[in-house]
Amino acid sequence: MHLLRQPKEKIQVFSNALLNAKSKVGQCKRCFHLTAGEECEICLNQQRDPSVICVVADSRDLIALERTREYKGLYHILGGLISPMDGIGPDLLNISHLVNRVDRENTKEVILALTPSVEGDTTSLYLSRLLKVFVKVTRIAYGLPVGSELEYADEVTLSRAIEGRREVE
Amino acid sequence: MEKRLLVIGPNGVGKSNLLESVELLGSLRSHRSSSDQDLIHWNNDSAIIRAKTSNDENLSLEFRKVGGRKVLKNGKQLSRHLDLLGSVRCVGFSALDLNLVRGEPLLRRSWLDRVVQQLEPVYGDLITRFNRLLRQRNQLWRYWKDSEQANQDVLLDAFDVQMALVSTRIHRRRNRALKHLQPLAAKWQKRLSKGNEDLELNYLPGSALEGEETELSWRLAIEEQLAGQRNDEERLGSCKVGPHRDEVSFLLNGSPARKFGSAGQQRTLVLSLKLAELELVGATFREPPLLLLDDVFAELDPIRQFLLLEAVGDDHQCLISATHLDAFEGDWRRNSQILELERQQDGILEVG
């Protein structure tokens, strides 16, 4: 209804923008993030550390991590998680590209940032086994959300947090 | 208030629904169906169970065709459904349980799982995770049938590691629960058989659990077995190691009750198992759980009904369903509130 009340010109501009997005936005040839050019803004940014690659399932996860402004390395988008039930095997994800890229770019560390579901853990374990022979592989810690009370955390989160405990510095 | 509620009415009137709704509040699962969609009337979008407990808690559990479950406690929505557990504790006994001794191993696994879940609510997450891992893994072989892939062993390793860990945790909990149940069930069997029968419960795990009972040694043993059975697995398309192959055997005076027990002995055994469960849950939480007896009376002879009544005593609040009041022998009818249900046109059952 809101759209129908707008003047025709405005609708024209809006629909052109949508068509443009559809036709011009493609994937970065290096990390598979969304971009209008050959490579995305992050890969082209000289300020970022090219020796670290953070692996995520899709571009939405990248955007969430970018909001933290903490991470200064590059990314690699898998395009999903391994899930045979949904017909998704490793061959359908950007995994061989990742292996080649780590080799070619002389990467020092790969950080796996995938959800802790069965599919996410399977993908993490698969990738770490493929990569750890020639690069350091780490994964993000699972634990308690900041601002939450320990006593209200569920047992699954708590046991994961205990498994991933660290020595106090 | 009377401790016993007898729910009487013809088949299909909703007796089991009433008991099942209490079971759902107590365990978040139903022994009759594994899909929430089955709990919703075909021309409605949702089904709601509301209850007020004697501790003055208002509980509400809603099943929606779209959007899944919604759980409220005292008007506040719970983000974790598991937090509802503990408000109502109950042990169910239905006509389906009478097949526990004779029926498929799956029945004995689900029975044991219900006991463990009562004692440790997170257990449900382990079972859900294991089932998902197993489905994904079995599907993997189908996926590879169409196209041979590189690094198959690496992907199977990734599954082995996760399945070995979850399997170990499930095996340990099932084993522990059976050890707690064993002396209680044996005591009841002895009493119900007038001292004639010694009952033994044995856990026969679907993985060879070697070494001492520590998480690490069992986990490594299972990992090794999972890796070792891959050729068979490829041929058969399913995994042969894990808690999905668990079995529980019941021995009466040393012989398997499944094969050699008479029909009467098998029924007494089921009764012993249920009483052991009731006692274990009651002792763990220092409060007698509700007992739900769904349509079992028609199946029990007068002697066993009497023994059950004597065993349950007056400690437990009981909800009991039957088609006719005649099903109850002797003292069951005394001190009981009787609720007769009649067929309703609009499918709504009011219990006042």
pLDDT tens profile A34-85: 999 999 999 999 999 999 999 999 999 999 999 989 999 999 999 999 999 9
Instruction: Report CA-CA distances (Å) from B169 to A48, A142, B217.
Output: 43, 20, 12
Residue A145 carries which DSSP code? P
Phi and psi torsions of A84, nearest 5°: -55, -30
pLDDT of residue B35: 82
pLDDT of residue B185: 96
A132/B contact by beta carbon, under 8 A:
no
**B250: confidence class by pLDDT, cuts 50, 70, 90:** very high
Residue A83 carries which DSSP code? B
pLDDT of residue B350: 55
- List Cβ<8 Å contacts ≥24 apart for B328-334: B328/B6, B328/B297, B329/B302, B329/B305, B330/B302, B330/B305, B330/B306, B331/B306, B332/B4, B332/B6, B332/B297, B332/B305, B333/B6
State which residues form the domain around B115. Answer: 98-284
* Strand, coil or helix: B232: helix
CA nearest to A159 within chain B:
B122
Nearest to B162 among A85, A89, A122 (CB): A122
Instruction: Report CA-CA distances (Å) from B64 to A5, A169, B32, B39, B153.
Output: 35, 49, 18, 9, 41
A84/B contact by beta carbon, under 8 A:
yes
Tokens of A147: 């601002």
Taking the C-alpha atoms of residue A81 and residue B158, their distance in angstroms, rounded to an integer, is 13
Inter-chain residue contact A122 with B158, CB threshold 8 Å:
yes
Question: Mean of the per-residue pLDDT values for chain B?
Answer: 88
pLDDT of residue B347: 56
Q: Over 50: is that where the pLDDT of B352 sits?
A: no
A91-143: pLDDT as tens digits: 999 999 999 999 999 999 999 999 989 999 999 999 999 999 989 999 998 87
Taking the C-alpha atoms of residue B347 and residue B179, their distance in angstroms, rounded to an integer, is 44
User: Which residues of chain A lie closer than 8 angstroms to B122, CB-CB?
Assistant: 154-156
Q: Percent helix, strand and coil across chain B, each rounded to 5?
A: 50, 15, 30
**Could you give the domains of chain A?**
42-167 (3.40.1360.10)
Does a structural domain hold residue B321? no
Inter-chain residue contact A82 with B133, CB threshold 8 Å:
no
Does a structural domain hold residue B331? no
Residue B289 carries which DSSP code? P
User: Which residues of chain B lie closer than 8 angstroms to A83, CB-CB?
Assistant: 136
B136/A contact by beta carbon, under 8 A:
yes
Q: Over 80: is that where the pLDDT of A145 sits?
A: no
Residue A5 carries which DSSP code? T
A148/B contact by beta carbon, under 8 A:
no
Does a structural domain hold residue B153? yes
Does a structural domain hold residue B105? yes
B193-210: pLDDT as tens digits: 888 999 999 999 999 887
Does a structural domain hold residue B33? no
Taking the C-alpha atoms of residue B336 and residue B318, their distance in angstroms, rounded to an integer, is 9
How many structural domains does chain B have?
1
Inter-chain residue contact B147 with A91, CB threshold 8 Å:
yes
pLDDT of residue B248: 96
Taking the C-alpha atoms of residue B279 and residue B286, their distance in angstroms, rounded to an integer, is 10
Residue A147 carries which DSSP code? T
Give every CB contact of residue B95 below 8 A, 6+ residues apart in sequence: B294, B295, B296, B298, B299
The ipTM is 0.85
User: Which of A115, A122, A130, A131 to mutate to probe the B interface, most B CBs <10 Å?
Assistant: A122
Q: Over 80: is that where the pLDDT of B39 sits?
A: yes
Does a structural domain hold residue B223? yes
Nearest to B139 among A84, A126, A156 (CB): A84
pLDDT of residue B342: 80
CA nearest to B122 within chain A:
A155
Inter-chain residue contact A154 with B122, CB threshold 8 Å:
yes
In angstroms, what separates the C-alpha of A130 from chain B's closest C-alpha?
A: 7
pTM of the model: 0.85
Taking the C-alpha atoms of residue B183 and residue B161, their distance in angstroms, rounded to an integer, is 35
Do residues B62 and B70 touch, judged by C-beta distance below 8 A? yes
- B7-33 core/surface letters (b: 16 or more CB in 10 A; e: else): bbbeeebbbbbbbbbbbbbbbbbbbee
Does a structural domain hold residue B244? yes
Nearest to A126 among B129, B144, B154 (CB): B154
| CATH at residue B115 | 1.20.1050.90
Do residues B226 and B89 touch, judged by C-beta distance below 8 A? no
User: Which residues of chain B lie closer than 8 angstroms to A84, CB-CB?
Assistant: 136-137, 139-140, 142-143
Q: Over 70: is that where the pLDDT of A19 sits?
A: yes
